[in-house]
Amino acid sequence: MHNRAMNSLTEKSAPSPAPVSRNDRPALVVANLRKKYASVTALDDVSFTVGRGEIVGLLGPNGAGKTTTINMILGVLEPTGGSVAIDDVDIAKDRARALKRTNFAAVYASLPGNLTVSENLKFFGLLYGIESLRARVDELLEEFDLARLRNTKCGLLSSGEQTRAALAKALLNKPTLLLLDEPTASLDPSAAQTIRERIKQLASRDGCGILWTSHNMLEVQSVCDRVLFLSRGKVLLEGDPRLLPQAHGASSLEELFIRVAREPLAGGDWMAVAADSAP
């Protein structure tokens, strides 16, 4: 009986395939990534991919290893072991070329407030070596409804306007991989919905692979094609956010998140606990 439950659970929670895209090469491949600080293991043998045109949610409680993972993808932290490849470029072997294919936006990483929206985009465009920079800046100002604010200092923008400006900055180089850390955390529901729709368009229209962290499970369920649950530096669960709760005997993704956050076990032990609690 227990074996049948385990087999059923494994089938239900198998990772959903990435959407078909115009390029079969994944936007991101993380393989056996590890990070140790003295006797503390922050990340323990984490592996996953983000396909072109796919939005993957990286979920977990504070201290689970999400920020450590993102910092190693961005090359800010050097891993203890494992590898990161962005658009098939190993970041350890060619960091500059790999990072040209990625960008990042987060609610806590606001643009310099003493520069105008246009000045910020031009500054970061120069850092990325964007060709036809003036035209690219004008294009993004229009796309994110920022044209009327082009000469407004970023420090004077509302939260929603700052988020749109940060996303415009993150798209300057037309990234293959976009990393978003709590991108809608400070927004009202209407502004958050607008940002979510724009981000989904990026994946479907431009084939951009997106790694998204959030504590808003309703948002994750509406946006992400696939989610990874991190806890204590390990990936405990992976799959379609609309199917995982039922597969693990939870009434919602939020309930499943809370159970994962409180669960001290990992790997097969967690799976056994989930199997026993499944209906």
CATH number assigned to the domain comprising residue 79: 3.40.50.300
Residue 106 lies in a domain: no
Q: The whole model's pTM is what?
A: 0.82
* pLDDT at 111 exceeding the cut of 50: yes
Residue 108 lies in a domain: no
- Asked if 119 and 198 sit in the same domain, the reply is no
* pLDDT at 270 exceeding the cut of 80: no
Domain residue limits at 166: 113-174
pLDDT confidence tier of residue 23, bands split at 50, 70 and 90: low
- Asked if 257 and 144 sit in the same domain, the reply is no
- Asked if 165 and 209 sit in the same domain, the reply is no
* pLDDT at 1 exceeding the cut of 80: no
- The pLDDT, as a whole number, for residue 263 is 65
Residue 137 lies in a domain: yes
pLDDT confidence tier of residue 184, bands split at 50, 70 and 90: confident
Residue 107 lies in a domain: no
The count of structural domains within the chain is 2
Q: Which of 132, 152, 174 represents a domain boundary (last residue)?
A: 174
- Asked if 42 and 55 sit in the same domain, the reply is yes
* pLDDT at 135 exceeding the cut of 60: yes
High-pLDDT (> 70) share of the chain, %? 86
- Asked if 57 and 84 sit in the same domain, the reply is yes
Q: Are 9 and 270 a contacting pair, CB within 8 Å?
A: no
- Asked if 121 and 215 sit in the same domain, the reply is no
- Asked if 192 and 272 sit in the same domain, the reply is yes
- Asked if 91 and 204 sit in the same domain, the reply is yes
- Asked if 164 and 194 sit in the same domain, the reply is no
- Asked if 187 and 271 sit in the same domain, the reply is yes
Q: Which of 126, 142, 174 represents a domain boundary (last residue)?
A: 174
- Asked if 152 and 240 sit in the same domain, the reply is no
- Asked if 159 and 94 sit in the same domain, the reply is no
* pLDDT at 250 exceeding the cut of 80: yes
Residue 67 lies in a domain: yes
The residue ranking higher by pLDDT, 185 or 167, is 167
* pLDDT at 170 exceeding the cut of 60: yes
Q: Which of 154, 174, 194 represents a domain boundary (last residue)?
A: 174
